[in-house]
Amino acid sequence: MPSRTVSGKPDFDVVVTGAGPGGSTAAKALSNLGLKVALVDRYSFPRDKACGDVIGPKAQFLLKKTDIKVESFVGIGDMDIVLPNDVRVHLPSAPGIDFDGVGGALARYQFDEILFDAALDSGVEFIKGRASFPVSVHSNEPHVVLINSGQEVKSLTATYLVGADGANSSVAESFQLVDRAKILLGFAVRRYVYGTVRTPVISILGHANELFPGYGWVFPSTEGRLNIGVGVGVLNDRSKGSLATRTMESYLELVRRTLDVEFEEDVNEAKQTQLGGWIKMGMTGTTPGKYRVLLVGDAAGLVNPLQGEGIAQAIESGLLAAQAIQQAPNDPATYYIKELLESDSNFARGASFIHRTAVLHPQLSLAGVKGLGMLAQKKRMASAWGIYFNGLVNSAGPIRGSVLARTTGSILGNSEALKDFFYGFKD
Ligand SMILES: Cc1cc2nc3c(=O)[nH]c(=O)nc-3n(C[C@H](O)[C@H](O)[C@H](O)COP(=O)(O)OP(=O)(O)OC[C@H]3O[C@@H](n4cnc5c(N)ncnc54)[C@H](O)[C@@H]3O)c2cc1C
């Protein structure tokens, strides 16, 4: 085992752990600043990742900022939400201040590889292996990273660590940045089948499916496939995650019977594509950094608690982590946390409150969602729902429903009465 005490010049300026969208984006941005960067992942690429594969409008805008070209998306615009009482709400997509309103679908094994290759092209060094972190964050010495390749354990040193290692981040755990009692976890499963869907669908599942707050989805994907999945919110009770997996077959049955979707399933092949994963949401219960350690994307718990989107947040926080190291090299975490809070905490506060209430009071919340469904037959209300649900209040621009969405966001985000429901970042 390598010694915990290190001296001399570190091997790297930055070690980024995890080569998902957050890690690859951060690594590329740091390398572009002239820093020597290692990107560590336990898998080689391409690798699969459980996801609905929707790269939303905000993520598309952020990709442009990173200069990474992704051309093979299947376009996604409007979406339908189907409620348990079969009421359908059509959520129109619309351009915002800094995005054009259209998202796209691309299987994650393809999407993540494009970002990963872009990082390597910018001079980042890839190291395959599982990373762990034995050194105290209070030390002024370089951080030590142990990398277990399966055959051997190597030791590296770095001035900065960026933890982009997903919802179960070992960087976050090692540096004691997680307060397990306060995190908002979800578990979601996806499967690929062959078929088409006219408008992508999100089904709020209640009653017979007993999966609330949770939802099923049918999204288009590449290669003539559909991405069908189910996700459930569990607060911090991991034992409830299997509910999503157990609901998959009955959701497929529901899709076949009640939605305007045609698909064929080669049972064996489709089951082989089934993959699940944890989601950490709402900026709550995880401190996203300390001194020279920064957490990005799912490691920091940045996923939208209302619909499970996290790719845009992973890319945005990856860029912000690079900016923090450049702007505040002595204490990037303080800079980083301040910027994260300024960019999104109002939405996170309101959305986390809604999510937590739905888990704790499912019947009451389900009744509320159904009521909202009736109101949202009016276009303005549906549009406001789409803006708030997708976390686009700050960037929506003066479009139909934006004033209502902004007012809702402001009431929920600023309410003193709700602050006990939002734990925010751990002190
Ligand atoms: C079923 C499902 C559906 C989803 N659908 C969508 C969607 O449609 N749109 C959307 O925007 N978001 C969606 N999300 C959320 C989205 O997948 C995440 O927010 C996003 O992947 C976060 O990116 P990331 O870079 O932070 O982490 P990840 O993409 O999780 O990448 C983490 C990387 O770290 C590596 N790693 C982990 N631990 C270690 C270690 N110790 N050492 C080395 N490497 C390590 C992993 O191998 C992985 O490559 C979904 C999530 C799930 C589970």
| Cα–Cα distance measured from residue 324 to residue 331, given in angstroms and rounded to the nearest whole number | 8
3-class SS of residue 161: strand
Q: Are 80 and 91 in contact (CB under 8 A)?
A: yes
Q: Say if ligand 1 is within 6 A of residue 51 CB.
A: yes
E strands in 180-252: 184-197, 201-204, 214-220, 225-235
Whether ligand 1 lies within 6 angstroms of the CB of 53 is answered as yes
**Mean pLDDT, residues 23-49 taken together:** 98
Rounded CA-CA distance 132/30 in Å is 21
Nearest CA to ligand 1 atom 44: 41
Rg (CA), the chain: 21
Residue 1 has pLDDT above 60, yes or no: no
Backbone φ and ψ of 74, nearest 5°: -90, 125
Q: Does the pLDDT value for residue 218 go beyond 60?
A: yes
pLDDT class of 422 with cuts at 50, 70, 90: low
Mean pLDDT of the chain: 90
Cα-Cα-Cα-Cα dihedral sign, residues 218, 222, 225, 227: negative
Ligand 1 centroid vs 149 CA: distance in angstroms? 21
Contact 26/296 with Cβ under 8 angstroms?
A: yes
Question: Is the bond into 398 cis (omega within 30 degrees of 0)?
Answer: no
308 lines ligand 1 (CB under 6 A): yes
**pLDDT at 232 exceeding the cut of 90:** yes
Which has more pLDDT, 209 or 48? Answer: 48
> Crossing angle, helix 362-375 and helix 379-389, to 10 degrees?
130
**pLDDT reading at 3 higher than 70:** no
Low-confidence winner among 215-219, 281-285, 299-303, 341-345 (lowest mean pLDDT): 341-345
For a ligand 1 pocket test, name from 309, 316, 319, 389 the mutation site with the most ligand atoms within 8 angstroms of its C-beta. 309
Q: Is the pLDDT of residue 333 over 80?
A: yes
Sign of CA dihedral 322, 337, 413, 284: positive
Nearest CA to ligand 1 atom 38: 165
Cα(387)–Cα(391) distance, rounded to whole angstroms? 6
Q: Is residue 122 exposed (0-12), middle (13-18) or buried (19+ Cβ within 10 Å)?
A: middle
User: CA-to-CA distance for 302 and 340, rounded, in angstroms?
Assistant: 10
Q: How far apart are CA 192 and CA 220, in angstroms?
A: 10
Decide: 280 in ligand 1 pocket, CB within 6 A: no
pLDDT band with cut points at 50, 70 and 90 for residue 425: low
At residue 427 the predicted structure's pLDDT band, cuts being 50, 70 and 90, is very low
Each residue of 291-322: pLDDT tens digit?
A: 999 999 999 999 999 999 999 999 999 999 99
Q: Please, are residues 189 and 50 in contact by the beta-carbon 8 Å criterion?
A: yes
Parse the chain into domains and list their residue ranges: 350-421
Residue 329 confidence (pLDDT) above 60: yes
Say whether 201 sits in a helix, a strand or coil: strand
pLDDT in tens, 255-280: 988 887 888 877 777 778 999 999 99
User: What's the whole-number mean pLDDT along residues 357-378?
Assistant: 90
The pLDDT of 319-329, averaged and rounded, is 98
Q: Write down the pLDDT at residue 380.
A: 86
**Interval 392-413 mean pLDDT:** 86
Atom nearest to 25 CA in ligand 1? 25
Give me the residues paired with residue 233 across strands.
186
Task: Decide if pLDDT at 97 tops 70.
Answer: yes
Average pLDDT, stretch 110-129?
Answer: 98
Backbone angles phi, psi at 188, to 5 degrees: -135, 150
- Return the structure tokens found at 402: 């934006």
76 Cβ contact list (under 8 Å, min separation 6): 54, 56, 102, 103, 104, 105, 200, 219, 220
| pLDDT of residue 137 exceeding 60 | no
Cis status, amide bond into 46, omega within 30 of 0? yes
Calpha distance 23→45 (Å, rounded): 13
Q: Say what the pLDDT of residue 419 is.
A: 67
- Is the pTM of the predicted complex or chain greater than 0.85? yes
Q: Give the angle 218-223-225 at the CA atoms, nearest 5°.
A: 25
Sequence-distant (6+) residues with CB within 8 A of 330 are none
Residue 192: pLDDT band with limits 50, 70, 90: very high
Per-residue model confidence (pLDDT) at position 397: 81
Cβ(110) – ligand 1 distance below 6 Å: no
Q: How far is the CA of 377 from the centre of ligand 1 (A)?
A: 34
Please, which residues have CB within 8 angstroms of residue 128's CB and are 6 or more apart in sequence?
40, 41, 42, 43, 44, 149
- CA torsion 421-172-42-302 (nearest 10°) is 30
**Helix (H/G/I), strand (E/B), else coil: 229:** strand
Q: Whose CA is nearest to atom 2 of ligand 1?
A: 51
- Going across the sheet that includes 54-55, the strands are 54-55, 103-105, 74-76
